[in-house]
Chains A and B, each alone.
Chain A
Amino acid sequence: MAIPSKSNKGWTDVVTGKTKHQLKFLAAKVMLGRLVHAVQENPTPANISAGIDQLHELYSKNAHMPSVQEDMKTIFG
């Protein structure tokens, strides 16, 4: 399953905490537990972009995992 590009608004909504999803991939949950807080503390475009980079890399390198594929459906429909 393809991971949506970083320009997809869904990534921004996740890392800024605008939307919160029930995710399955443990690594993403652990990462987001810090990332969302850090971005909300200082929501500059650079911080949002850096957060998206981290999260996108995590999902892209695990795109074959069933939990990742479930998360992509949850976040992007």
Chain B
Amino acid sequence: MSQAILTVDEAKEAIAKGRVLLLAGDEAVLRSLPNGAWVGGTIPYFMSNKYGGLASRELVFATDITEVATGWELQRYDAETVAQVYVNAPENGFSFILIPASCPTHLSFALNAPNYEQFGVRPLVGWIAGVHLEDLGKITPKAINGQTGEVIEDGALVMAVTLPAGKAASLGIVNLFEQGDGDTLTFPETGFSAREVFVNGKRTNFAQYLTEKQLDTKLPLVADYYGALVNISFQGVDAAQGVVNFYAPVFSGIRYKHAKPVTDYVADFKNKLAQDCSLDDTRLVFSCNCILNYLYSELEGKKTQPFVGPITFGEIAYQLLNQTLVYVEMHDV
């Protein structure tokens, strides 16, 4: 198991050796790679051991799972069939999923995953592919089937990974955000945008509420899922239209609070790891972190070891998450 930044030549060499790889890189870089045992998503931002956070259109981030995978299969889904992703998961293993940002499958997964048949029964981890921020609106994020070279703009690619007997994978998250002490917010409807919100039970316009309260929209809404804190990040507030847009859907019936500020991501990250996370980094298989953490916490050049990996437009640990680090850990069982 290894996670490392590679040059294109190093990536080609690994593919030629038959390594089983989860790749991340700029579209042109991934398209230049030969077919092999890999699946990749577009993104040119990474966290690395060597450089810390970095943006590169030339390098590839490779998670090599050859040593832990006794078998693997690439599966392709669309916005409807992705509902079967848990049903089709390997009996002993995990499913690694890539979905291009903003495509219909992304939206469908975000809204419906918690209601999928056999939700959570097998580990589902992955990320939402993106683009360089300079390319937003110019080119679309992609997921690439390394076995065939197929490039998709809408859909989900899943590498279903079978583990050896006696091994099991578990998913974890590191979320630095906690619920603040402010109002309790609930939403009348599930969706990626909201006009109205219940503030401590009283219905009001959400955009107006955010403006009046001068809440920092770099800080997410945080829901407490039985002790697991799940963020919803703000995409923007359209005060004129009275609409608030999110990077993941708010769900009706879930109670949210605006997050407490995080003043120093790296320092808080280290404290959080020391407090909450008993991770043995030799068991770490994969990790990824959110582009919003990278941007808002200015992670370029900074290290969040032992966690490295792609910087993403959304993280998946069973369901879509925002502003959260996600990881896969291997256990002897």
Which residues from chain A sit less than 8 Å from chain B, CB to CB? 20, 22-23, 26-34, 36-38, 41, 57-58, 61-62, 64-67
B279 within 8 A of A: no
Complex CA gap A34/B331 in Å reads 28
Complex CA gap A22/B225 in Å reads 11
Q: Are A26 and B172 in contact (CB under 8 A)?
A: yes
Q: Are B120 and A32 in contact (CB under 8 A)?
A: no
Residues of chain B contacted by A66 (CB below 8 angstroms): 170, 331, 333
Interchain CB contact (< 8 A) of B170 among A34, A36, A37, A67: A67
Q: Are B333 and A58 in contact (CB under 8 A)?
A: no
Q: Are A27 and B318 in contact (CB under 8 A)?
A: yes
The number of A-B residue pairs with CB atoms under 8 Å apart is 70
- Given A33-B228, A65-B331: 14 more A-B contacts, CB < 8 Å: A22-B227, A23-B227, A26-B172, A26-B173, A26-B228, A29-B227, A30-B226, A33-B225, A33-B254, A34-B114, A34-B253, A58-B120, A65-B168, A66-B333
Chain A nearest CB from B220 CB (Å) reads 16
Residues of chain A contacted by B120 (CB below 8 angstroms): 27-28, 30-31, 58
- CB nearest neighbor in B for A54: B119
B319 within 8 A of A: yes
Q: Are A33 and B224 in contact (CB under 8 A)?
A: yes
Interface size on B, residues (CB 8 A): 27
Chain A nearest CB from B26 CB (Å) reads 31
Q: Are B333 and A29 in contact (CB under 8 A)?
A: no
Interface string of B281-322 (1 = CB under 8 A from A): 000000000000000000000000000000000000111000
Residues of chain B contacted by A28 (CB below 8 angstroms): 120, 226
Contact flag A38-B170 (CB < 8 Å), given A23-B227, A58-B121, A66-B331? no
- A–B complex contacts, Cβ < 8 Å, 14 sampled: A23-B227, A26-B170, A29-B228, A31-B114, A31-B120, A33-B224, A33-B225, A33-B254, A38-B253, A41-B253, A57-B118, A58-B121, A61-B122, A65-B331
Complex CA gap A58/B223 in Å reads 22
Complex CA gap A33/B331 in Å reads 25
- CB nearest neighbor in B for A62: B121
From B114, B120, B224, B254, residue with most partner A Cβ within 10 Å: B120
Chain B nearest CB from A1 CB (Å) reads 11
